[in-house]
């Protein structure tokens, strides 16, 4: 249901605009309040009279009302809405959204929107497949907008059938799923460590590992989508945070990560320790670049780093939950169980480097989750985004 949800429905100039009438009806049937905003081209495809009759509200299309010159406030719309849905969204409107070309009321409302935005593209295949459109859709996603498209099933690898607007009922379901998901972790505070650490040798060199941070960032996004407040303590990675409820704290070394984790963990409900923390750092840091010694080998003495997971395990209070990761190459199960116990974790997520598609850098992972009661659950190879959902379903919900 969408009871009481306030939805701004933006309609642009696509032939699929006629479906906006069904969409209005379906949203209202689910209990939503709908305010339509239409572009000049949209009006060529569906009349404002139809839309206002369905929504019991005047359609907003101009900056000023034609009757009495009243100013339509896009800022008010942005504050009023619980969600904005742009369906159908043409390639042109998508391009304007990406570039902030606010030459009509719909784009202006989009730029003022404080609520999550959903976009249902509608265009022919050639326009959809054009690199400009694909680039713009990627940009929209990187701004945190949600793209709603028909699932193409076995056609997923080709573009066939793409560009067609998703059916109104499925769009409504996507909104319902979004709001339901948004409440799952709404009162939780979660701290997540992610990425590698850099352990400095001299001003130009460091010791590190191949961790990309993708798993930790996927977990942070999923927790935030479920309504949690997330603190993401990240080592150096090439990734951006999307969701506004994620507070990112950048660190470089294990010691910095350790200090940040100790500072923030006490006020949180859950800690997810996904970072590949260096176990050792050089004992001495050289202020000057170390010089090559012709023909001679050098010895770099290493000293242990603090174990963040174990430290948090020690200060964990009743009601707090700790989830660790184990990346193993041999005797996987045994090592994972040992870490679970030693570090006082509640769950450990095991990935083995022996499984193809699992572990560092890639976009997929294959995991097994172990808990303190001896339960062991194996999951199939999936994308890191899907793995993030599995981990949260299994350990937090």
Catalytic (active-site) positions: 209
Residues that bind ligand C5P (CB under 6 A): 193, 254, 273, 275, 277, 279, 305, 307-309, 324-326, 339
Q: Specify the residue, 16 or 326, whose C-beta has the smaller distance to ligand C5P.
A: 326
In 3D space, the residue among 383, 343, 396 whose CA is nearest the CA of residue 369 turns out to be: 396
Q: Specify the residue, 146 or 259, whose C-beta has the smaller distance to ligand C5P.
A: 259
For residues 391 and 368, the answer to whether their CB atoms sit within 8 Å is: no
CA dist 297 → 65, 81, 300 (Å): 80, 66, 10
Distance CA 66, CA 48 (A): 13
Distance CA 370, CA 328 (A): 14
Q: Specify the residue, 193 or 395, whose C-beta has the smaller distance to ligand C5P.
A: 193
Considering the complex, what minimum distance in angstroms separates the CB of residue 13 from ligand C5P?
51
Considering the complex, what minimum distance in angstroms separates the CB of residue 388 from ligand C5P?
15
Considering the complex, what minimum distance in angstroms separates the CB of residue 48 from ligand C5P?
56
Pairing of strands 6-11, 83-89: parallel
From the number of C-beta atoms within 10 Å of its C-beta (0-12, 13-18, 19+), residue 52 rates as middle
Q: Specify the residue, 116 or 271, whose C-beta has the smaller distance to ligand C5P.
A: 271
For residues 366 and 357, the answer to whether their CB atoms sit within 8 Å is: yes
Considering the complex, what minimum distance in angstroms separates the CB of residue 285 from ligand C5P?
18
Considering the complex, what minimum distance in angstroms separates the CB of residue 4 from ligand C5P?
41
In 3D space, the residue among 142, 158, 223, 147 whose CA is nearest the CA of residue 189 turns out to be: 223
Q: Characterize 126-158 residue by residue with b for buried, 16 or more Cβ atoms within 10 angstroms of its Cβ, and e for exposed.
A: ebbeeeebeebbeebeeeebbbbbeeeeeeeee
Q: Specify the residue, 307 or 346, whose C-beta has the smaller distance to ligand C5P.
A: 307
Distance CA 269, CA 388 (A): 18
Considering the complex, what minimum distance in angstroms separates the CB of residue 211 from ligand C5P?
10
Q: Specify the residue, 183 or 279, whose C-beta has the smaller distance to ligand C5P.
A: 279
Beta strands in the chain (DSSP E): 6-11, 33-38, 83-89, 117-121, 146-147, 189-194, 199-202, 205-207, 229-234, 246-250, 270-273, 280-282, 302-304, 321-328, 347-352, 364-365, 368-371, 376-378, 382-383
Distance CA 190, CA 208 (A): 26
Pull the structure tokens for residue 351: 């990935």
């Amino acid at each position: 249901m969408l009871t009481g949800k306030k939805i701004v429905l933006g309609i642009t100039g696509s032939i699929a605009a006629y479906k906006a009438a069904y969409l209005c009806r379906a949203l209202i049937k689910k209990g939503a309040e709908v305010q339509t905003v239409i572009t000049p081209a949209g009006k060529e495809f569906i009349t404002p009279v139809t839309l206002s009759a369905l929504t019991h509200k005047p359609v907003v299309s101009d900056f000023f009302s034609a009757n009495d010159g009243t100013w339509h406030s896009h800022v008010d719309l942005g504050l009023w809405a619980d969600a904005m849905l742009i369906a159908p969204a043409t390639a042109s409107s998508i391009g304007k959204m990406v570039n902030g070309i606010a030459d009509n009321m719909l784009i202006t409302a989009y730029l003022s929107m404080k609520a999550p935005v959903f976009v249902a593209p509608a265009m022919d295949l050639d326009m959809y497949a054009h690199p400009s459109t694909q680039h713009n859709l990627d940009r929209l996603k990187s701004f945190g907008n949600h793209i709603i498209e028909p699932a193409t099933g076995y056609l997923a690898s080709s573009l066939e059938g793409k560009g067609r607007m998703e059916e109104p009922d499925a769009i409504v379901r996507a909104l319902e799923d979004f709001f339901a998901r948004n409440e799952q972790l709404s009162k939780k505070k979660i701290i997540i460590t992610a990425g590698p650490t850099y352990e400095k040798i001299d001003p130009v060199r460091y010791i590190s590992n191949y961790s990309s941070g993708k798993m930790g960032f996927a977990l942070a996004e999923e927790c935030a989508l479920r309504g949690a407040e997330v603190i993401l303590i990240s080592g150096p990675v090439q990734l951006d945070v999307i969701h506004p409820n994620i507070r990112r704290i950048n660190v470089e070394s294990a010691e910095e990560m350790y200090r940040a984790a100790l500072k923030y963990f006490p006020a949180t409900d859950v800690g997810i320790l996904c970072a590949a923390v260096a176990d050792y750092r050089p004992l001495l840091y050289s202020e000057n670049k170390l010089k090559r010694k012709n023909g001679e080998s050098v010895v770099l003495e290493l000293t242990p780093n603090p174990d963040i997971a174990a430290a948090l395990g020690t200060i964990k209070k009743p009601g707090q939950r700790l989830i660790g990761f184990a990346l193993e190459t041999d005797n996987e199960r045994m090592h994972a169980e040992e870490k679970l116990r030693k570090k006082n974790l509640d769950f450990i997520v095991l990935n083995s480097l022996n499984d193809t598609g699992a572990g560092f850098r890639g976009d997929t992972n294959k995991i097994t989750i172990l808990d303190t009661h001896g339960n062991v659950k194996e999951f199939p190879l999936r994308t890191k985004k899907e793995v993030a959902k599995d981990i949260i379903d299994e350990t937090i919900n």
